[in-house]
Amino acid sequence: MTNRITVPFGTISIPERSKELIRNILETKRVSCGKHVRSFEEKFAALLGVKEAVAVSSGSDADTLALAVLYDYGAKRGDEVIIPALSFVATGNAVLNAGFIPVFVDIERDTLNIDPSRIEIVITKKTRAIMPVHIMGKPAKMDEIMDIAKRHKLHVIEDAAEAHGAFYKGRPAGTLADMGAFSLYVAHIITTGEGGIVVTNNEDYAEILRSLRSHGRACKCRECSLNLASKYCQKRFQGDNGEDIRFIFERIGYSSKMNELEAAIGLGNIEIYKEILDKRRRNLLYVLDRFKRFRPYLKTIKEDDGEQIGPHAIPIIIQEGALFSRAEFTNYLEKHGVETRTLFASMPTQCSGFAYLGYKAGQFPCAEYAGKHGLHIGVHQDLGLEEMGYVLNTIGKFLELYQK
């Protein structure tokens, strides 16, 4: 079917500044993690108002390495990390990849975020951290989560993968806890193509993160003179017997460095961050403000007092009593030019990789419902109010087919 308007789910901005940097990087042949990665880290940290940012190779690695920091603070392999049942599967994978056991908590239907009232029920002597997810850019209830963590002496790491531009009570999402982990994948407001970044105000955490992203090595300065220009480093041969500290490994680590070409894309996007954010926010709020007309068949999130939703995408949940299936709805949207994505699943009960943990269908009813009946659509910067209006009109025409 040919459409006058199409609404693709995602896009990527590669500004001229990024292209210029990429050309220069290719000329120098210095493409591994170096000065442009450090520059990107500094600018990202400044944007969020934090002391430290450590760039890595993906948002999944950002979660994984942030969790792995906890080993330096007494955590043991096989300890537990509490996460929401509903999230992109990377959240659960990261807990396992860091050597911990994910303990799942159901979500709130209205927010799609972890239900704080259910967290303390699953805390045990092996619990080391809570990792809330700001799903679709809607901030989790961080005050309640931080209070629980304080009472039980737990770390909190925000999975802020989709939360670029989100605020909770005046503070940026990702800066509300011990660490915040962002994805820089193509779909996000600040992108490096692939990539991720961890932010924190704790300089010791940042130092450990720099070690972890490079195999756990002892060489972990904020700015590496070797990577900048192959300069002499007076710290290099300070091992016990004059060993090169680049080959002294203090902890189990990962190979998760960002490269210079990715950083160049990120640097260009940071320069136009406000422009991208404003366009996405306008698109998001335009739809959210008009979505009530689709009740009682469809529901989305809303922006509550004291928060600003990061404009990642618009989740839509088909409600009980609807006379149509998700497949019928998404097929109609796709045929009429509106690209969709299925909403995330309940990891413990709808993702077979987690079946070995022994959870049973029905244990996470809210997450499972969203996993069966949810989808999301884009609000990115290449779209405008015309496209958002078209989405609303298309949804309205679909619902007319099923009016009683």
- pTM, whole model, 2 decimals? 0.94
- Over residues 294-334, the pLDDT tens digits come to 999 999 999 999 999 999 999 999 999 999 999 999 999 99
Predicted confidence at residue 314, as pLDDT, reads 98
| Range(s) within the chain of domains with CATH label 3.90.1150.10 | 277-400
Confidence of residue 230 (pLDDT cuts 50, 70, 90): low
Which two tokens mark 136? 């679709």
pLDDT tens per residue, range 22-55: 999 999 998 998 899 999 999 999 999 999 999 9
- Looking only at the bridges linking them, the beta strands covering 196-200 and 179-183 are antiparallel
351 touches 92 (CB < 8 A): yes
pLDDT attached to residue 3:
56
How much of the chain, in percent, has pLDDT values that exceed 90? 89
Domain with CATH 3.40.640.10 in the chain: 16-270
Cβ proximity of 156 and 131 under 8 Å: yes
For residue 397, the model assigns a pLDDT of 97
At residue 162, the 3 state secondary structure works out as coil
pLDDT digits (tens, 9 = 90+) for 156-203: 999 999 999 999 999 999 999 999 999 999 999 999 999 999 999 999
DSSP structural state of residue 338:
B
Residue 376 near residue 315, CB atoms below 8 Å? yes
Matching residue, tokens 């045990």: 124
In this predicted structure, what is the pLDDT of residue 81?
Answer: 98
CA distance 402 to 392: 16
- 244-287 pLDDT, tens digit per residue, is 777 788 999 999 999 999 999 999 999 999 999 999 999 999 99
Amino acid in position 181:
A
Structure tokens at 110: 């209205």
Helix axes 260-271, 273-288, angle to 10 degrees: 70
- Would you mind telling me the total number of residues written for the chain in this entry? 404
Alpha-carbon separation of residue 148 from 74, 179, 401 (angstroms)? 20, 17, 47
* Identity of the amino acid at 158: E
> Which residues is 193 bridged to in the sheet?
185
| CA 175 – CA 198 distance, rounded (Å) | 10
For residue 80, pLDDT beyond 80: yes
- What is the domain class of 16-270 according to CATH? alpha beta
Q: Cα torsion for 247, 250, 256, 259, to the nearest 10°?
A: -50
Residue whose C-alpha is closest to residue 94's, from 116, 75, 68, 113: 68
Three-state SS at 268:
helix
How far is the C-alpha of 346 from the C-alpha of 85, rounded, in Å?
Answer: 5
Euclidean distance between CA atoms 368 and 362, whole angstroms: 8
The pLDDT score that the predictor gives to residue 218 is 77
What value, to the nearest 5°, has the Cα angle with vertex 339 and ends 337 and 344? Answer: 160
Instruction: Tell me: pLDDT of 225 over 50.
Output: no
Contact between 182 and 173 under an 8 Å Cβ cutoff? The reply is no
Question: In this structure, what token pair is assigned to residue 71?
Answer: 């080993």
Query: Is 13 within 8 Å of 381 (Cβ atoms)?
Result: yes
Instruction: Identify the DSSP state of 190.
Output: S
Q: What pLDDT score was predicted for residue 312?
A: 97
CATH assignment, 277-400:
3.90.1150.10
